[in-house]
């Protein structure tokens, strides 16, 4: 079975073309494939499934093997993958666990594709201990802080991820520093149970929280992560955010083959 490795600003994924519906992977196998010492290594695995109504269906699994909620960086990567497979031209519409998404290819350069991905509207948020909690396809807790680059994101994030205030499913945790040219974001991701170099739904939540903080009704927020730069555009009226777009790169890294529980890099 062929697979492709992609990443979106350092958030990396195993992508598999499952248009024929033949790929059935257990939770255990997915976690083994995503393991960074004994497998291919990835933050998650994505199946490109067939769809009768849309260009394709996206099914996302976290590195622990469990099916996850929406992944913004993964949404860009599967769009680039669909382009590589010849399924789409410059635009596509696909279905994911949180609903329908539109994606637009902005430009292509070698193995990197720059994509704008429409995210779901956000109609509510709440304050928990004076910090913003919202769902941008996945649940996110956003904490504004100084010197984010020096924070112990793993331990601080883990303690909040399992906090009973976020029962029953827990939350992703974002630490956000406001800078002159935008925001710097670091994210602890549930399911990966670690800091990732970038989180698409996390930077989206962080940008919207920044919009609330600064009273922005329509704008574009430049975001720096440890894995690269992203941009989030949105419109806001009261607590309602619409026309939310996540822009950034998706890069194909290599192709490989999975044989009897092990992987081989092919090219």
* Residue numbers annotated as active site: 71, 199
Nearest to 44 by CA among 138, 165, 184, 119: 138
Residues 212 and 215: their CA atoms lie apart, in Å, by 5
Tokens 């930077």 belong to 203
Cα–Cα dist 130/223, whole Å: 22
According to DSSP H, which parts of the chain are helical?
27-34, 72-84, 153-161, 200-214
The greatest distance separating any two alpha carbons of the chain, rounded to the nearest whole angstrom, comes to 54
Peptide linkage before 173 cis (omega within 30 of 0): no
């Amino acid at each position: 079975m062929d697979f492709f490795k992609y990443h979106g600003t350092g958030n990396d994924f195993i992508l598999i073309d499952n248009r024929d519906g033949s790929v059935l992977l257990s939770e255990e196998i997915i976690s083994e494939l995503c393991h960074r010492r004994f497998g291919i290594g990835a933050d998650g695995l994505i199946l490109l499934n067939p769809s009768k109504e849309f260009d394709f269906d996206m099914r996302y699994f976290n590195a622990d093997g469990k099916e996850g909620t929406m992944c913004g960086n993964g949404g860009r990567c599967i769009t680039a993958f669909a382009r590589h497979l010849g399924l789409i031209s410059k635009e596509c519409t696909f279905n994911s666990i949180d609903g329908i998404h539109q994606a637009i290819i902005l430009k292509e350069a070698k193995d990197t594709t720059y994509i704008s991905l429409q995210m779901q509207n956000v109609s509510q948020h709440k304050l928990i201990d004076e910090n913003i909690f919202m769902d941008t396809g996945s649940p996110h807790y956003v904490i504004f802080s100084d010197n984010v680059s020096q924070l112990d994101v793993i331990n601080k994030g883990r303690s909040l991820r399992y906090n009973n205030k976020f029962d029953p499913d827990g939350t992703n945790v974002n630490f956000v520093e406001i800078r002159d040219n935008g925001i710097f974001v670091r994210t602890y991701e549930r399911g990966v149970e670690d800091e990732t170099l970038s989180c698409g739904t996390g930077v989206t939540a962080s940008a919207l929280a920044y919009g609330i903080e600064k009273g922005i009704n329509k704008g574009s927020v430049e975001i720096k992560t440890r894995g690269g730069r992203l941009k989030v555009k949105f419109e806001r009226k009261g607590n309602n955010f619409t026309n939310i777009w996540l822009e950034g790169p998706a890069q194909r890294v290599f192709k490989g083959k999975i044989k009897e529980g092990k992987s081989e890099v092919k090219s």
